[in-house]
Every structure is written in structure tokens, then in C-alpha cells.
Amino acid sequence: MSYSDPFDEALSEVSNGGFIHHILGSAYDSKRFKKYCKDIMSDKGSNKEKAANEVLFQAATKMTLQGGGLGVFGGVGAIAAGGADITSLMYHVVETCGVLAEIYDLDTDDDNVKAFVLAGVSGDVNLTDKALKLLDIGMNTTAREVALKPLVKTLLVPILKAIGVKVSVRGGIKIAQLIPVAGAIVGGGANCWMVNDIGHKFLKKLKQI
């Protein structure tokens, strides 16, 4: 995920922003979202409802099969098993919301859409509603940038904090807690439920646009 100035500024104000950047940098990939969207829309005859339901089904299935504790990136091998589990969970939650956004014709390269997607990932309805309002501004680049910058502290920082990871370093990296998606280490069944729950809530918001 490439960050614009507002996102860089927000990350700098969040504790452990570097670690959040690492996770989101791997999970938030607009090109992957667009390809996934294109493939699944083709498979479902361009039916958005069927495509969205399939994305949710696939995400939940992947988390169940992984059973928790399986990392999806080569770089997390040195991180404790809990870190791999949370990284995997974050990957699928971010991917699910990103692909759903693309299915409903939002450009996940756009900063306002990024804010909306990440708000959806946070599971915070209030933040998601605030981010949704950004999408009403229109497609003028200058207008988007002017609107987003004042929201660094009032929207982006809370979003990043909501999906942030508290990390303590004691002879290595220990993942203490994921907020609010999971507390400590959670199993595949719980991960499945969380991905499904957050995905359906985000899909409901998308249908309001």
C-alpha cells in the first residue's frame, strides 16, 4: 500500500505506526483487489450481489482452513505464532473489504476510498460513517486532498488506532492485542466469524452509496 501525505502523517501519530504500516503495506494492495474483483465478477456474470457473497464465503473458508496461527507472508516467520495469526487475519479482513469496495465501483487507489475501506476494517460504525461522507465530495483531486488533510487527526488516526496492534519487545516481537478485531490469539473459527461479521457490515455500508 502506498501512502499519501495524510496517511504518513496519521501513521506518525499512532503508537507502533511502523508495525501497522508493515501489516497494511502487505495487506492493502489495490492491484490485487482489482484483479480479484475482475475475476470474481467474470465468474458471477457481473452480478455484484453474487460476487460479494462469494468473496465473503471465500474469506471465511480460508480463515477456517488455516485454523489460525498460519502466516501469509514469508517475512513473518520470525514473529511469534500469535503474530502470524493476527497478520493472517488482518490480511483477509483488509482484502475482503478492499475487494468488496472494487465490486461496488470504488477505486481503492483513491485516498478517500482507502480511508473508507480501513474504517470498515476497524469495525467501528461511527468511523465508517465519517469516512463514507468523504466519498460524497466528488472526484476533483484538489477537493479530495483539501477534505482529507483536516481529517488526519479526527478520522485517519482513530481508524489506524482502531486496527492497530500493541507490540511489546522482550527478546523478540510479541503481539499483545489486536483492537478491536481480536484479543490476543484467536482460533480459526473465531477468525472466520470476525472476517464474516466485518465483511457483512462493510457490505451493508457499500450498498448505501
pLDDT digits 0-9 by tens, 156-202: 777 777 665 433 333 333 333 333 444 334 455 667 777 888 899 99
Q: Which residue has the cell 502523517?
A: 9
Once rounded to an integer, what is the mean pLDDT over residues 116-128?
A: 86
**What's the pLDDT at 67?**
53
The model's confidence at residue 3, banded by pLDDT at 50, 70 and 90, is low
- Residue 177 forms beta bridges with which residues? 166
- For residue range 105-114, list pLDDT tens digits in order: 999 998 888 8
φ, ψ dihedrals at 72, nearest 5°: -115, 0
The model's confidence at residue 58, banded by pLDDT at 50, 70 and 90, is very high
The model's confidence at residue 2, banded by pLDDT at 50, 70 and 90, is low
Instruction: Give CA–CA dist 91/29, Å, rounded.
Output: 10
